[in-house]
Amino acid sequence: MTNSDHERFSGEKVTYLRSKGERRKEILDLQKYENKEKCPNDYFISDGYSREGGKCKFEGEVDLTEQLNSNFSNTNYLYFMDTSTILIRVNNQVWKSIDQGSSWKRVDELKNVLAMFQNPYFNNRAYFANLSNTLYYTEDYAKTINPISVNLVPNILGIPILDFHPKKPGWLIYTASKGCESTFSTNCHSVAYYTKDNGKRWNQLDTYSRICTWARDSKFNVNDDLIFCESYLKKTGSQKSSYDNPLQLWSTRDFGANKNILFHNIVGFVTFEKFMVVAELLPTQQLQLWVSMDGEKFAKTQYPPNMDVQNKAFTILESTTGSIILHATAPHNLWGNIMKSNYNGTYYSLSLEYVNRDEEGFVDFEKMQGIEGIALANVVSNTNEVIIGDSAKKLQSRITFNDGGAWQKLTPPTSDSDGKPYNCNGCSLHLHSYTERRDPRDSFSSSSAVGLMIGVGNVGDYLSPYLDGDTFLTRDAGVTWTEVKKGAYMYGFGGQGSILVLVDDEAPTKHILYSFNEGKTWTEHEFTTDKPIKVHDILTHPNGTKLTFLLRGRPEGSYAKEVVVYLDFTQKLSAKCELEKDFDLWKPTHPGHTGHQNDCLFGHKTTYYRRNLGRDCYIDESFSQSKKSQENCKCEEYDFECGFNYVRDKNNNCSLVDGTSPLKLTIEEMCADGAKFWYNDSRFRKIPISTCSGGEEIYLGKPYECPHSNGNSGINWLIVILVVGAIIACCMYRKRNRYSYLSQGRIRLGDPMADSQSFLLNMFESFMDIISQILSKISVPRSGNRYRYRPVSQDDPNDVLLNEYDDDNQEL
C-alpha cells in the first residue's frame, strides 16, 4: 500500500486501546455508521459506503498492515474537551479525528511518538515525546504542531516526563535522562529542567531526582514559583539501583538556587487540591505520614492508638469533600481499613474495615460522580478463612450516603429483569468494582448523568464471578436498584444521560442495546452482519455530553485485527430538549439506616433538573447540570461521623474504642479557624461539607461561645475602616500629584509638594503599621506542632489522587 493510498482516504483505520496489560498484533478496520441514509437492514450510509447484497459495504477500506507492527501494548489517546477532536497513538504513530472518531487522518508531523501528554489545566495544549532531542506540542487543539528543542532525550526511568503549571501554560518541568543508553550503564540518572517560555529556554533544576513538580494546584494555593522535588542524596552511580540512597524532599522558591530540605528520607509524596501528604521512612523502616496545607508547615497524622499504621501500605483515595480518605493495610494483605481525616488532614477515624484491594494497591472504592458524598466499596467478608487457609476472598458491597460517616448494604431489587422474585432471604446486591476494571477511567457513573449508576453483579450473600453476574442500574443515586439485563454488559453514558448503551461483555456479539429512558426500555441494534465482534471497550466523550460512541473489539476467531465501530445517535434524538417542558425536578434522598427516606443530603435539600423519561429529545451540550435550588436543613445524625477514637458499633452508634480515651483539645484549638462555638463532646464531628444548621448540640454536646467570636466583627470593621482610610489618603496624594509635571523640575527639600508627599506617605505607613499589629493578633488557621481540629467545618471539595506505598516497591 502506498502513501498516496493513505492520503486519499480520510477514514484511516485506527483503534482505541485502553485496557491494561493486553497484547495486540493486528490490522485495524474502521466501520462507520452515521445516520444519513439507512440501509434496508438498519445500517447507516455515509460517504464511502454503498449498498451491496442488502448490506452496507465500506468501499474505502484500507489495510494498515504495512504501517503497524505487532506491539500494541503502548497505545494511548486523548480528547480535547469542548471540541470534537481526538488523538490516538498506535504503535508510535499519531492519528487525529476532528469529528468524534467518524474519520481519521495520520498526523505526519509526529513520527515515532512514544508518549502523548495533555495539559490538564489548559485543554488546548498537548505535548508529544520520542527518543530524540525534540519535543512537539500543539496549543490549538492539534490544528498545528510545533517543535521544542531539549538538551537531553526524555527519561526512560519511569518518571513523568512533563509537569504542568496550573496558572501559567508556558511553565513546564521536563525530566530527561543521561547516561542511560546501555542497560548496564553505571551512571544512568535523571536530569530535571524548567522553562518559563514553553521551551524556548531550559534551565537545569536538579539531577538524580525521582520527580520534580510545581507545588501549585487548583486549590493548593501556594506561591507560583514553589517547586517540590524528590531527589536522591547521593549523586553518583546508577539511579536504577538506589536501595541505599535516601530519597530527600526539598522545596525551592527560586528555581533551585536555594533548596529547603523538608524531609531527609521519604517514600513519596502527593499534592492534591488543598492537601499535601508526605510518607516519611523512619530509621526503624516504619512509615510516618505528614500533612500540610501550605507546603511549609507539616503535622503528623494521628490515628486511634489501637490501630498500628506505621507498618502499613497506604492508598490515597478519591476525596471530594474537604478531608483526606486513605486506605491502610499491612503489606501483602489484600484488604485494609478506610480512614477519614478531619478538615485539615491530621486526625483520622475508622470509616470502613476490611475493604478489598489488589496487589498493585488499587482499592474497591469509588465515589459517585455528580452528587457529593455518595460512594461504593467492597469488603472482604471472610478474612479469617483467607488468613488460615487458601480460601478465596468473598466480597460484599457497601454504600455510604454521608461521605463515609456510615455504611450499609445495597438494597436489592424485589425481582429480576424477567419479573421473577429473588429466592434469597436477607441477601443484598453486590457489584464488581475498581480492582476488576480493564480501564481505570471507567466508572459506575457519569457526572453529567445525575443520579444514574450502572454495574455488574448479583443478588446474594456475596459477590459471584464477573461472568456469572447480571447488569443493574439505579436512577436515584443508589437508594434503589433494578436488574436491567441478564448477563454481564459493558455500558456507556451519552448526552448527559439522554442515552445509555449496553454491549455484551461475555461473548462476541453483533448487537448493542440502547435506551432513551434511563433503562426503562431497551432497543436492540445490529451493528454488523459479518462475524460477531468481541467488544473490549465502549468509548465516549469524557464529559458525557455527546451522542456518539466508539466500540473497540476483535472479530470472532480473529487475533490478527481489531475494529472500531462508530455509533451516532444524533438522528435518533434529533429534537433538543426545552427546559420548561422536557425536564423534571429531582431531589436525591438519604435512605437512613432504618430505610426512612430523608431528602436532606449533607444538610441541605438540593433540586436538580433531569430529562422527563417520556421525552425523546437530547440535552444540548451547552446545558449545564446545575443545581436549581438548595435549602439548608436542621442537623441530623447523617450530618456527623465518629470522632477521633470512636467507631460505629453494631447498633450504628459511635462508641469509644476499648483502651482509648476521648480526644482532649484546648479551647483555643477548638475555636481555631474562626469557629463561633466549641463543644464538650468529641463522640461526633460534623462532616466537612454538611451545611446543616441547628441541632448540633444533640451530637456535639453543649455549645460554648468562643472567646473571640464577638470581637472578630469589631476588629474586621476596624480593619476595613483603616484600609479605606489608607486608600483615600493614597488617592488624595495621587490627585495632588497628577499635575506635578508642570513644574518641569525635581522636588527639592522644603518644596511644598515634597512636604505634602512626605506627610501622606508617613500617614500611609502609620495606617499599615496599625493594620499589621492588629492582624498579628488575629488567629489564623495553620499547621504546626499544635494540631488544630474543629468539630464543625465546611471546606471546599477536592479531587482525587491515587498512590500507594508497599514494602516491595516503596511507592506512596
C-alpha cell of residue 779: 488567629
Please provide the distance, in angstroms rounded to a whole number, between the alpha carbons at the two ends of the chain. 49
What does the pLDDT look like over 743-791, one tens digit per residue? 333 222 233 333 334 334 344 444 444 433 433 333 333 333 322 222 2
All residue ranges of the chain with pLDDT < 50 are 1-74, 593-595, 711-715, 717, 730, 732-812
362: phi > 0 → left, psi -120 to 50 → alpha, else beta; which?
beta
What is the structure's pLDDT at 75? Answer: 53
What is the structure's pLDDT at 19? Answer: 26
What is the structure's pLDDT at 468? Answer: 96
C-alpha cell of residue 765: 505607613
Cα–Cα dist 173/154, whole Å:
12
What does the pLDDT look like over 247-278, one tens digit per residue? 999 999 999 999 999 999 999 999 887 899 99
Cα–Cα dist 468/395, whole Å:
14
What is the structure's pLDDT at 52? Answer: 34
Q: How far is CA 328 from CA 123, 323, 800, in A?
A: 35, 16, 17
DSSP letter for each residue of 417-482: TTSPBP--TT-EEEE--GGG-SSTT--S--TTSTT-EEEEEEEESSPPPGGG-EEEEESSTTSS-E
Q: Phi first, then psi: what are they for 760, rounded to 5°? A: -65, -40
pTM: 0.75
Quickly count helices (H) and strands (E) in the chain: 7, 53
Angle between helices 752-776 and 711-737 (to 10 degrees): 160
Q: How many CB atoms lie within 10 A of CB 227?
A: 26
Contact yes or no for 351/403 (Cβ under 8 A): no
What is the structure's pLDDT at 342? Answer: 84
What is the structure's pLDDT at 6? Answer: 29
Cα–Cα dist 811/232, whole Å:
15
Q: How far is CA 184 from CA 157, 181, 237, 245, 486, in A?
A: 14, 9, 11, 19, 55
Cα–Cα dist 14/106, whole Å:
9
- Residue 510: burial class (beta carbons within 10 Å; 0-12, 13-18, 19+): middle
3-class secondary-structure state, position 723: helix
Which of 623, 622, 581, 628 is CA-nearest to residue 608? 628
Give me the sign of the Cα torsion angle 329, 335, 337, 338: positive
Which of 376, 463, 473, 493 is CA-nearest to residue 417? 473
